[in-house]
Each structure stands twice: as structure tokens, then as C-alpha cells.
Amino acid sequence: MRPILYIVIPCYNEEKVLPVTAPMFMDKLTALCTDGKISDESRIMFVDDGSKDGTWDIITELSKQDEHFIGIRQSRNRGHQNAVLAGLMEAKSVCDITISIDCDGQDDIDAMDKMVEEYQNGCEIVYGVRHNRDSDTFFKRFSAESYYRLLKLMGVEAVFNHADYRLVSSRVLNEFSNFSEVNIFLRGLFPLVGFKSTSVYYERHERLAGESHYPLIKMLALAFEGITSLSVKPIHLITGMGCFIAFLSFVGVIWSVVVSFMGQAVVGWSSMTCIICFIGGIQLICLGILGEYIGKIYMEVKRRPRYIISERTEELTSDQFNHSD
């Protein structure tokens, strides 16, 4: 059975690059079809993320020219992650596999062949991973790689050097739709769904036209989102710090009492120091404990699924459960 593939492409103010890359995506889809790797029912789905330029007009024009192009449009700009999510959720019930990719031609579309092959080999998620970061500036390379290391340190399971170019089967997407959180950082969430996955390596090029929508400040915001939406380790760190400072304060208390007994302290100094140290330590521990509970609430309100079954030796049907009591 040849799988139906939906290529999901977020676009925000991309009127310059879309006319260049849309034919490239179409050539790839056609090649995959003629090679017998995917079904002819496959589609290229553009998600217009509330563009203010002519992007949506280009998309509607493309869809009139060829039925393999389809488009959906967000009611307003909601950001890249939400645009990808919208496309994936729309596509999941009409296809077998999706590949999300940016519309600017930076990611090598030839990696799609390998992705589909890996799917045929039984992988449900295939991560597109950059070979190297030679095309980046030193600052971008350093900051990006440090960020992936920080994510790992914080216990977030993200694939090193993988952004949002990935194949995901609709089976995984169906499970993923149970992750009802609103703060989404897709590259950190998909590993949590589980299932068999692998990586495919590719070269990342320069943008073919137009400009990046991710200046430093937006990149930092995404980075912060990634950590705070997936990890409560910062709160554990505060608790740990609170305990450590409380210990230091305790030592400070003993020290000030000793200094006082030795008669070297100005009157009132020791009691003041004791109070400051004591209150400081207690306050930090309390903040940390409060933080631990807020962390729990934070994880609870996400309402993530508590288990996901990936295989069964046999399908259980309700007939097997005849409770004759």
C-alpha cells in the first residue's frame, strides 16, 4: 500500500519565496509518486499563518492550477509552531503520513525520499537533522548548540540539531492530539509520544528569498518557551538553591553568635545578622516548596495522556468482557 503523504508547509508573509519553492515541492511530490513511494492522493498543504501580504492569494491561485496544492488559513498570525500544529491536525484524518517543512527552501527536500523509506521500514516519526551548521554564523551556531545542551540538562528530550522538518505518521498524530497543552514546542513534544523513530541527515541552505521571521528576540522567546513548557527543573534548582543558602545562613548564625561571645561585635549586630540569615534561608526554602506545588499544578493542567499503547498481541473487543453478575 502506497501511503498518502501530506506535506505541511507554514507560510507567513512569504510572497517572495513561495513562487520559487512551490514548484520545487510539486516536483518532489510528483517524483515520489512516480517512484511509487507515495499515493497519488498525496497533497501539498500550505498553512497561511495570517499573512498580511499576497501569500494567501498565491496559495489560492496554486490550488486552482493543480489539485495537489491545497491551503488552509489561520484566522490571525499565531506563530510558526501553531501554524504547523494546525496543518498537522487538519491533515491527520485524511492521510497516512505528514512531513512538516518550512516554505523558504532552507531544508533539503531530497531528504523526504529517505524519510518515506524509513517510514516504510517501520518508523512512525523521522526527524530531519542538520548535518552541520557550516552555513550559520559563529554566534548562531554557538547559541543553537548551547541551547540544545541546556535543553538536555533540563531533562527535555529534544533531538540535537533537529528543528521542525520531520515525518510523522497519522497514527502518532492521533495520539498527539491528546496532548492538550497550549504552550507548544513541537520538537520537544513529539519525542514524548514515543513509537519507533529515527533521524535522517541533511544540509541546510540559505533562505531562497525573503527574510527570516526569527530575529534574536523571537528565538530567545522560543528557547524560553521550550524549557518552561516542558521542564520543571528550574523550580527544582530554586529549591536546591534554597536549601544550600539556608545551610549557609545556619553557618552565618553560628558565626555571628561566636563573634558576639568573643566580644568583637557591635551591640545589636549579631541579633540582626542572625535574623537576616535565618529569614533569608527560610524564605528561599518556602519559595522553593511553593514552586514545587506550582510545578505539579502546571504539569496537571496540561492533561497529557497518561499512557499510550503502541502494540497489541490481539485486538480486544468488548465481547470478551461479559460481566455476568
Contact residues toward ligand UDP (CB under 6 A) are: 10-12, 14, 49, 77, 79-80, 83, 102-104, 106, 212-214
Task: Pick the stretch among 16-24, 62-70, 94-102, 309-317 that binds Mg ion (CB under 5 A).
Answer: 94-102
Q: Contact between 96 and Mg ion (CB under 5 A)? A: no
Q: How far apart are CA 60 and CA 69, in angstroms?
A: 9
Q: What angle do CA 95, 97, 101 make, to 5 degrees?
A: 115
Are 252 and 225 spatial neighbours (Cβ–Cβ below 8 Å)?
no
| C-alpha closest to that of 227 among 304, 141, 305, 150 | 150
> Which residue's CB is nearer to ligand UDP, number 61 or number 292?
61
Question: Which of Mg ion, ligand UDP, none is residue 175 near (CB under 5 to 8 Å by kind)?
Answer: none
Smallest distance from ligand UDP to CB 149, Å? 19
What does 49 interact with, of ligand UDP, Mg ion, none (CB < 5 to 8 A by kind)? ligand UDP
Least CB distance to ligand UDP at residue 320 (A): 47
Residue 82 or 106 having the CB closest to Mg ion:
106
Least distance (Å) from ligand UDP to the CB of residue 50? Answer: 8
Residue 227 interacts with which of ligand UDP, Mg ion, none, CB < 5 to 8 Å by class: none
Q: Which stretch, 81-89, 102-110, 153-161, 245-253, contacts Mg ion (CB under 5 A)?
A: 102-110
Nearest CB to Mg ion, comparing residues 222 and 243: 222
Question: Nearest approach, Cβ of 215 to ligand UDP (angstroms)?
Answer: 9
CB-count burial class (<10 Å; 0-12, 13-18, 19+) for 318 = exposed
Do the Cβ atoms of 213 and 12 come closer than 8 Å? yes
For 260-324, the DSSP string reads HHTT-SPTTHHHHHHHHHHHHHHHHHHHHHHHHHHHHHHHHHT---S------SS---GGG----
Binding-site size for Mg ion (CB under 5 A) equals 3
Q: How far is CA 28 from CA 78, 247, 253, in A?
A: 28, 63, 71
Judged by beta carbon, residue 210 or residue 242, the one nearer ligand UDP is 210
Q: Which is nearer to Mg ion, 42 or 100 (CB)?
A: 100
Which of 106, 239 has the CB closer to Mg ion? 106
Q: Exposed, middle or buried by CB within 10 Å (0-12, 13-18, 19+), for 321?
A: exposed
Q: Where are the alpha helices (DSSP H) in 99-137?
A: 111-120
- Counting contacts by CB under 5 A, is residue 106 touching Mg ion? yes
Q: Taking the complex as a whole, how short is the minimal distance between the CB of residue 145 and ligand UDP, in angstroms?
A: 15
* Nearest approach, Cβ of residue 13 and ligand UDP (Å): 7
Q: What is the bridge-based pairing of β-strands 43-48 and 69-73? A: parallel
Does residue 104 interact with Mg ion by CB under 5 A?
Answer: yes
Report the C-alpha gap between 22 and 169 in whole angstroms.
Answer: 23
Cα distance between residue 82 and residue 86, in whole Å: 6
CA-based torsion, 317, 318, 320, 321: positive or negative: positive
Work out whether 48 is an interface residue with Mg ion (CB under 5 A).
no
Kindly list the residues in this chain that would bind Mg ion in the complex (CB under 5 A): 102, 104, 106
